Amino acid sequence: MSQPKQLLIIDDDPDFVAGVKSILLKAKYEVDVAYNPKDGLQALQTKTYDLLLLDIMMGRGAEGIMIARKLGKDPKLRDLPVLIITGIREQMAFLFPGQAVHPHFVPVDELVEKPVEPKLLLEKIQALLKTAEARKTQSK
Amino acid sequence: MQPKHKVLVIDDEEVVLDSCTQVLASGDCQVTTAMNGTQGLKLVEEMQPDLIFLDLKMPGLSGFEVLEKIRSQQPHLVVIVITGYATVSSAIEAMKRGAFDFLPKPFTPEELRLIARRGLEHCRLVQQTVALRREKELLRENFAAIVSHELKAPLGALQQNLYALTAELEDKLSDSQKDLFERLKTRLDDLLKLIHSWLRVFSVDVRKLKETFGPVSVADVVSKAIDTVQPHASRKAIEIQTAMREPLPRVNGDEGSLTEVLVNIIGNAVKYSFPNSKVCVRAEALGQEVLITVTDTGVGIAKEDLPHLFQDFVRGQAQPAGAAGCGLGLAISRRIVEVHNGAITAESEPGKGSTLVIRLPAVQSSPECSPTSERKD
């Protein structure tokens, strides 16, 4: 068994995070949490993660989007796969659950809606990790 | 202290300008004057007055022309026309064209003050109305964001923890305990869906969809909708058949919302169908229209329910076991179809099934310059 994958969650809702984190821990991922964008960005700079779970609506607005944009511009971090978790259904009112939605902030990302079922969550994470892995070997 | 009211007087007679300035400036008004229409219009733009006194008879640009320009550029501005003695007919004509009131010459300071006060009061009301209307619009738009965050976030967190708990306790829970968890999750899910539907109905302005209309392939929309509904159909062993009669012209619209309509309609057909039956989706061109017909052989719709079918919060009386919903799907669908200049109708025989027909105007030959895109309600 290879090294457990390191995941980072950036989300300002501790209750929601608890529900996600427990699912991820059960699936043998190692999970760090940042409860605000500032701590999140700092964590990304200090430690290497395999995947980021990012909440969009934080604080006064869509601060999550700012993080995603920053990642996209950062040559070191832009290859980090990101699973965007959003509660704003209006913006995806026409998108349907289960369907892959690519926000394209970074090369490998996808979007799921809060709340997210354990099975779907784990599938998406696995798929993103796999895609990122494939990209890495391809570029080598 | 309140800022002074800005009053603009446009008149070619200096004596009128002077007397107006003298009378009004002693109150809470700041008076600016213009000797002719052209200068007046320039000042209207520069100073944004609250109230304008406008002489109808001036050399050069006439008062009527000035009035017309002001009305077309700033319809909320309050204009009072100054007319010569015994020219009531032109005063009435000016009021027909949007002047708020008229002041016959010669006038006493008292008359001027009175009419100015009335004009300013009207101006205040007009400005208030405009502000309120804007506020209402903003509120409606922000409502979606606020509700989604304040109501949905806690529910989402609740549901997420339930998911986590169920997963963690998977091998420890008895079947009846699992059933309780399922009930919790289902009710929470319904609540989330309900909030979502309400948001769609009350806060999303479907007319805005028009801004991004483009040519849409009906076949694409149908197949996307079926993809979404398919899992529900498979669960009840219902077969969804499609019949696309080529050539199928495209329609001018918003693909996402048209797909939503079909998801609603086909989803309903599946929901109200008996297990092991068929739902048929047909699309064909008929004259200038594209017809999409969805037929099921399910419980049907009672005659007395049919006229209300597309209203908010209406659900049919005949409910098969396990059907859940809040009765907004068809109301939303109707709104979306109507924004597309289309129509949606239903026929049904209780116990035998229902047929819903969506009619959408077809895009004529070249999709680039479609005439339907210009059509306004």
What is the least distance, in Å, from the CA of B247 to any CA of chain A?
A: 27
Band (B375; pLDDT cuts 50, 70, 90): very low
Q: Cβ B168–A26 below 8 Å, yes or no?
A: yes
Q: How far apart are CA A136 and CA B109, in angstroms?
A: 86
Q: B157 and chain A: CB distance < 8 Å anywhere? A: yes
Q: Give a yes or no: residue B240 inside a domain.
A: yes
Band (A53; pLDDT cuts 50, 70, 90): very high
**Number of folded domains in chain B?**
3
Comparing CB atoms, the residue among A15, A23, A94 nearest residue B260 is A94
* B243 and B200 in a common domain: no
* B339 and B216 in a common domain: yes
Instruction: Tally A–B CB contacts below 8 A.
Output: 86
DSSP codes, B223-279: HHHHHHHHHHHHHTT-EEEEEE-SS---EEE-HHHHHHHHHHHHHHHHHTSPTT-EE
pLDDT(B46) > 70:
yes
pLDDT at B297 (0 to 100): 92
What is the least distance, in Å, from the CA of A136 to any CA of chain B?
A: 32
* B326 and B216 in a common domain: yes
The closest of B6, B4, B15 to B82, measured between CA atoms, is B15
Tell me the pLDDT tens digit for each residue of B314-364. 555 555 544 445 567 788 888 889 989 999 999 988 888 999 999 999 987
Q: How far apart are CA A84 and CA A128, in angstroms?
A: 11
The closest of B341, B332, B339, B284 to B309, measured between CA atoms, is B332
Tell me the pLDDT tens digit for each residue of B136-175. 877 776 776 676 667 888 898 999 999 999 988 989 999 9
Determine the longest span between alpha carbons in chain B, in angstroms: 97
pLDDT at A101 (0 to 100): 64
Q: How far apart are CA B193 and CA B199, in angstroms?
A: 10
Domain encompassing residue B27: 5-107
Q: How far apart are CA A97 and CA A79, in angstroms?
A: 26
Comparing CB atoms, the residue among A22, A89, A94 nearest residue B148 is A89
Q: What is the mean pLDDT of chain B?
A: 84
The closest of A116, A55, A92, A85 to B159, measured between CA atoms, is A116
Is omega for the bond preceding B106 within 30 degrees of 0, making it cis?
Answer: yes
* B324 and B298 in a common domain: yes
pLDDT at B281 (0 to 100): 95
* B283 and B178 in a common domain: no
Using an 8 Å Cβ cutoff, are A138 and A108 in contact? Answer: no
* B181 and B68 in a common domain: no
pLDDT at B85 (0 to 100): 62
| CATH number for the domain that contains residue B247 | 3.30.565.10
Nearest CA in chain A to B161: A19
Q: What is the mean pLDDT of chain A?
A: 85
* B350 and B237 in a common domain: yes
pLDDT at B39 (0 to 100): 93
Q: How far apart are CA A9 and CA A7, in angstroms?
A: 7
Question: Under DSSP, is residue B30 helix (H, G, I), strand (E, B) or coil?
Answer: strand
| CATH number for the domain that contains residue B70 | 3.40.50.2300
Q: Give a yes or no: residue B22 inside a domain.
A: yes
pLDDT at A90 (0 to 100): 44
pLDDT at A16 (0 to 100): 92
Going along A42-97, which residue ranges are E strands?
Answer: 51-55, 82-86
Phi and psi for A62 in degrees, rounded to 5?
-85, 65
End-of-domain residue from the set B163, B181, B204:
B204
pLDDT at B90 (0 to 100): 86
pLDDT(B376) > 50:
no
Look-up of token digits 């190692």 = A30
* B330 and B220 in a common domain: yes
Band (B369; pLDDT cuts 50, 70, 90): very low
Nearest CA in chain A to B151: A87
* B327 and B275 in a common domain: yes
Band (B374; pLDDT cuts 50, 70, 90): very low
Comparing CB atoms, the residue among A23, A93, A117 nearest residue B200 is A93
What are the structure tokens assigned to A26, written together? 């059960």
pLDDT at B312 (0 to 100): 62
Structural domains of chain A, with CATH: 6-139 (3.40.50.2300)
The closest of B238, B115, B260 to A94, measured between CA atoms, is B260
Interface test with A, best of B142, B155, B163 (most A CBs within 10 A): B163
End-of-domain residue from the set B182, B204, B226:
B204
Comparing CB atoms, the residue among B148, B166, B167 nearest residue A90 is B148
Tell me the pLDDT tens digit for each residue of A64-104. 888 888 898 899 898 999 998 887 654 443 344 445 566 77
Q: Give a yes or no: residue B114 inside a domain.
A: no
* B228 and B320 in a common domain: yes
Q: How far apart are CA B125 and CA B119, in angstroms?
A: 10
pLDDT(B366) > 80:
no
What are the structure tokens assigned to A29, written together? 């991922």
Q: Give a yes or no: residue B118 inside a domain.
A: no
Report the percentage of chain B scoring pLDDT > 70: 86
* B370 and B301 in a common domain: yes
* B264 and B165 in a common domain: no
Distance of CA B135 to the CA centre of its chain: 15
ipTM of the complex: 0.80
pLDDT(B276) > 50:
yes
pLDDT(B103) > 70:
yes
Alpha helices in A47-117 (DSSP H): 63-73
End-of-domain residue from the set B204, B228, B262:
B204
* Among A118-122, B191-195, B297-301, the least confident range: B191-195
- Average pLDDT over every residue of B296-311: 83
What is the least distance, in Å, from the CA of B157 to any CA of chain A?
A: 4
pLDDT at B350 (0 to 100): 86
